[in-house]
Chain A
């Protein structure tokens, strides 16, 4: 019912990725990977997760850090939100991700919380998901049968369910160098330390005639997983974006989402806020494009 002390578990601190993979293979579903612990330890104190083994990834070198070149960006799964927020490169070029990280939790939480943890926890309101989806990010996974990649968009299968196998480790995320601009907007009940009631990321490129191409819109907290608003994307694709078109795209995305009524907000309010935030995110991206 109420939060309790941590349950008993065995703690492992592998020094390398192969060692971590071996431990995962050995303990399988009985084990959980630990990154910043801001989701996992709470879940354990609430007894919603009771792994017999906890495998700390932080002792493995090379899983965190941000590097970029002309082709794009690589962010280690263990990179903290605070590190991402401090990155001038992310702020300048991968702005929607920076928008998301800067409104996540609090400075204390951001210092612990990692990008990988946020994605693998796969809550519908995960703030980094919509911006990574519109930026066409790829998740890089390592498992018993080697390395593979998966679009971030395909990572989520249900609330709090990530399509990773229990024996997979998310090692890093890559984002192709964006030719366009975007924005992420988050609606909260209070100005900080709050989960998204609605999160909207929008991204597009402008051609020489100011026509939108490669438009992508992703919604958070308004469906069982983060989702694309494809009908809304289609409205702006190939057109010159203006206030009226942004509003039209907004009303379309309000119809594409399928939120629930919960403690934090009603279904109706969430839908109409998707409209408002989509419109605003598009206009913000347009401002940034000019």
Chain B
């Protein structure tokens, strides 16, 4: 199909959830009410690392209005984790607490005030243990062990070797090594964790929670609660953002279910944001050393990296993070040889998951900063060195990732032109700078054999299509693009496709919403489902049109015999035949999984991990105040190759959103801890996320490519810009004031300190 032929795809249709959210009518988990509902609250540890000697709940239980109190001991004691070899957590702690703010007991009461009051009556005896705060602490030979399921503080390792790194460095004319570090950052969704749990007369659990990836929640919860999968149903209401902070089940979810099981009443728990900032998912802190070898002209010959991620007391999805860092040394530039040693370590800070872009963000920040340094050292133009090394179409990376369609060169060219790079080299005000960075991101990796996506379409007798899928609308616009795709294939208006509920009883849950996979994987499943439905309609219509089913075309809600446009019937015609004459339902089923790519080896990094590698080149222009060190971003420009844009306006929103999000990581945000592991800035007053006024004017140039495997040629889009933004800002600050800050966040104080050092003060 040619691009011009699309009726719905590529058009900025109204989001399926736009009106209901904008008018405040969308119901989130915190809005839900069930008859007889109780309110739950969680008691949290004031210390970061301690043995739990005793928890006395007797006084709390006596408080009028309190219906139940639980602790970790009320759960079956079965550990769970992301991988079979990393099952290192229980629903609530039993023998020890691992981080400040960890939930140690939970109460269900008739109202919230009583529940809170009951928390004050629970007596916990702790025996404090020395804390492990940093990667350095964790790796000390005499370091206390953080996780009781693991006999070491090393939670996971990856060691890669691709090509011939020694030969690559030997061949290099110039080698540069540099340290980079990145701080702990919070995830930053709007809606705090919340859920409502109910248990029916047969003991079947219904959990309605603010979850990003119901599938891992379902699997982990059933395991740790010792429930068969069929005994738990997950319905996902509107979700107020997730950004990788809501994949797995938390004590919130476990406690609500356990309290509902014990009390036989629905239990709702809604956290406040202090709790979320202090005790839930953050991005890993990173310490990395990168070494890059280049030829005189700037062509990369080899890259070596050591990276340690400090990820809190659980492995969580950390093994993927540590793999991703290594994998993304191979992209978006052509690097013939790569050596990588990665370690994920436990600590007594808040547990990590990741944040938008996963740890690809950190890899791309480090690689592109180093490339910027090398270009500066060798006097090579920043745009030229990126264009020279950029990956091109039909390229296989050193670690075996096959890149099909790649528009990175055009992305670079376009972003340089839009930001007026060449002109800026002739003259610019003092303190003004422009920084570049490129990045790429997969369109959904295949982390396990069970990864797959499925879509069910129900064509009703009125000709409207009800679409249900196993993904989750978390604000990224998934529901909208699937409705667009189904409408496109069936030749009906976008409005005729209705988004169904997100319910594990009707949908086969998708592996989860991460790594830009939803549009791509579930999109392909949508196309398959729509084609399935179309085939059934064609059979019915063919008889009436006296044509072969394969010769029929669906357009404008009509079915045409190909090449005979005068011969057509309304799409309602075969629908009515099915329902009113034959008594047969019309279901379209579709599924998709990238089974032709590899299940990568996380330890060695080998394997082709994904289709649809998307690319981006970002340029950020800024002014740095020479006296205060404050950077004000003026303009952020991205040339973005997401294949065929399905919804150009939402795509732009994704690109700009990722950029705005990482502006905080680059310049402002940092989770601060005291020496005893207590977080210090767990409020929105003290934890600085960027506001709208901190973000620049954004321009997105869509570079259309056609991905051979993607739905309508589309690739994923939500995370590439988060991978390109930080280095662009770091490189821009260097361009503006000539100082290079390699430990994030780049604060005004650090800039001033380095500027003074440079001036010899």
Listed in ascending order, the chain A residues whose CB lies under 8 Å from chain B are 1-5, 8, 106, 187, 189-195, 263-266, 269, 272-273, 276
Contacts and interface: CB of A to CB of B under 8 A. Distances in A.
B690 interface: yes
A192 B692 CA distance: 9
A269 B750 CA distance: 10
Interface in B107-136: 112-113, 116
Interface of B: 44, 46, 101, 112-113, 116, 272-275, 278, 627-628, 630, 632, 668, 672, 680-683, 685-686, 688, 690-694, 747-749, 752
Given A2-B275, A269-B752, A272-B752, 4 more contacts: A3-B272, A3-B683, A189-B747, A276-B627
Contact of A2 (B272, B632, B680, B690): B272
B278 A190 contact: no
Nearest to B745: A189
5 contacts: A5-B112, A5-B113, A190-B668, A190-B690, A192-B691
A263 B672 contact: yes
Contact of A273 (B46, B628, B632, B681): B628
A190 B116 contact: no
Nearest to B626: A276
B729 to A, nearest CB: 14
Nearest to B691: A192
Nearest to B274: A2
A269 B629 CA distance: 10
A174 to B, nearest CB: 32
A34 to B, nearest CB: 20
A194 B690 CA distance: 11
Contacts of A189: 668, 688, 747-748
B275 A191 contact: no
Given A1-B46, A2-B274, A276-B628, A263 B113 contact: no
Contacts of A4: 116, 272
A3 B683 CA distance: 9
A71 B113 CA distance: 52
A264 B44 contact: no
B685 A195 contact: yes
Majority secondary structure, A binding face: loop
Contacts of B112: 5
B682 to A, nearest CB: 7
A3 B44 CA distance: 12
**Closest 5 A/B residue pairs (Cβ):** A191-B693, A2-B274, A276-B627, A192-B691, A3-B274
A263 B628 contact: no
A157 B749 CA distance: 30
Contacts of B668: 189-190
A269 B627 CA distance: 11
Contacts of A273: 628
B628 A194 contact: no
Given A3-B274, A5-B116, A276-B628, A265 B688 contact: no
Contacts of B630: 187
A192 B272 contact: no
A191 B694 contact: yes
Nearest to A45: B272
A191 B272 contact: no
B749 A266 contact: yes
B688 A263 contact: no
Given A4-B116, A5-B113, A190 B694 contact: yes
Contacts of A3: 272-274, 683
Contacts of B44: 1-2
Contacts of B686: 263-264
Nearest to B663: A190
Nearest to B273: A3
Nearest to A250: B627
B724 to A, nearest CB: 22
Contacts of B694: 190-192
A272 B755 CA distance: 14
A265 B272 CA distance: 27
Contact of B691 (A191, A195, A264, A265): A191
B40 to A, nearest CB: 14
A129 to B, nearest CB: 19
A215 B325 CA distance: 58
Contacts of A264: 686
A104 to B, nearest CB: 13
A269 B693 contact: no
A8 B688 CA distance: 31
A190 to B, nearest CB: 5
B681 A263 contact: yes
Contacts of A192: 691-694
Contact of B688 (A106, A190, A276): A190
Nearest to A189: B688
Contacts of B275: 2
Nearest to B682: A2
A265 B753 CA distance: 13
Nearest to A264: B686
A2 B100 CA distance: 11
A8 B101 CA distance: 25
A269 B749 contact: yes
Given A2-B272, A2-B275, A195-B685, A187 B628 contact: yes
A16 to B, nearest CB: 32
A265 B749 CA distance: 8
B274 A263 contact: no
Contacts of B693: 190-192
Nearest to B275: A2
A2 B119 CA distance: 12
B754 to A, nearest CB: 13
Contacts of A8: 113
